[in-house]
A and B are shown apart, each in its own frame.
Chain A
């Protein structure tokens, strides 16, 4: 397991730990993510159709749909439901826009105890900050590629 020589003692141990680790259930996780993620998208599509029916078009339609989904994400986070969905669904509830809403709302709730400015407002983007940085960055890259093609 760890062997007698000091040389690769740690490596032997780490390899041994790997054999003992409980496996991550990839198939089950993917299926749950697919199901829940798909369901969230279907709800979004349903909202979109309803708004279209109500007479919205173009950017207004897309914007209003996103706003409603973001509201639902924040609302369910506040009720303490979204983390339960997330525990089960994984990427299925992280990837849609509701997951982004959750990643902003949850630290805001958490750090509220440290004050409105230095707590809630300053730490609101501890999780979402990374998403914003890399989202904007990849947006620029794609934009450049698009410009030259």
Chain B
């Protein structure tokens, strides 16, 4: 059933299991105690950062499957994507498995888009179990979008730090687990921000738009949620999204939490917090879902946000179109 841009899942697909891997810097923060694997070496024993990213993603997927008590042959399809050109990490991770792979690209909102797509297929009854996973790596993202790692340049105060980590979950038609009740498909929003260092300000309108669409379609209000979770708006973007929704009559300031804002322990060189596809994936699949399963949170609106730019578009002076997909989780 669909109303507005929101799809309602009658059969309530479940998140049966989840797993997350995080890098050495992320380990220091709140998720360090909840991630399944924490790395001391961000190379993860590989020769390149791209291979390390791929290995993190593979291990996150394998762990999620294993933790749910599933075997590889039980999985019907995997949805995954990442930040690198031609989503190589996800595709290369998928070649290790026998099950089919559907690549998605939605920048940093890949996690919520994968969950949403997996839930749609499971709800419709086409498949029984699907994996949704994504990840990112600071060094590989930095190389693709910014400067070489060793280049001595300053970072502007609006900038964020790409999270090294990967997370995945298994979405099934089981009768227990965390319910996915509805999902709102995001629209691409562009308010004309051109500063590639200010992703928070670029993505906040997309998050606000999806939130309000979701509230309108489901008839819910911000108070109905224990937590409204955004992906990687950072400290600045979080302030803006609260203002934007407040302006339209929704007050999310009480229960809004941003993964990027909470992931690092000390804001030092990260300035506004974490970013990247791995940011929301790691926080959701470690801290948030385990707390949810423990009964701390009953209902969460998870909306990761993504900036759909490339180095070419920003080089040509284009503004940054952004997107956000929301998934309504209940336990």
Contact = CB atoms under 8 A, between A and B. Distances in A.
A93 B148 contact: no
Nearest to B156: A24
Nearest to A32: B154
A132 B320 CA distance: 31
A21 B50 CA distance: 33
Interface range, B side = 20 to 34
Contacts of A29: 154
A94 interface: yes
Interface string A52-88: 0000000000000000000000000110101111111
Interface in B33-64: 47-48, 50
A110 B236 contact: no
Contacts of A140: none
B191 A24 contact: no
Interface stretch (A12-20, A41-49, A141-149): A12-20
A2 B158 CA distance: 21
B192 interface: yes
A10 B198 CA distance: 15
Nearest to A91: B154
Interface string B282-325: 00000000000000000000000000000000000000000000
A51 interface: no
Contact of A13 (B149, B158, B191): B191
Contacts of A103: 151
Interface string B224-242: 0000000000001001100
A101 to B, nearest CB: 10
Contacts of B150: 77-78, 80, 82-83, 102, 105-106, 109-110
Interface of B: 47-48, 50, 143, 147-158, 191-193, 198, 201, 205, 236, 239-240, 243-244, 247, 269, 271
Given A10-B192, A16-B243, A20-B239, 4 more contacts: A2-B244, A24-B157, A83-B153, A127-B148
Interface of A: 1-2, 9-11, 13-14, 16-17, 20-25, 29, 77-78, 80, 82-90, 93-94, 99, 102-103, 105-107, 109-111, 113, 126-127
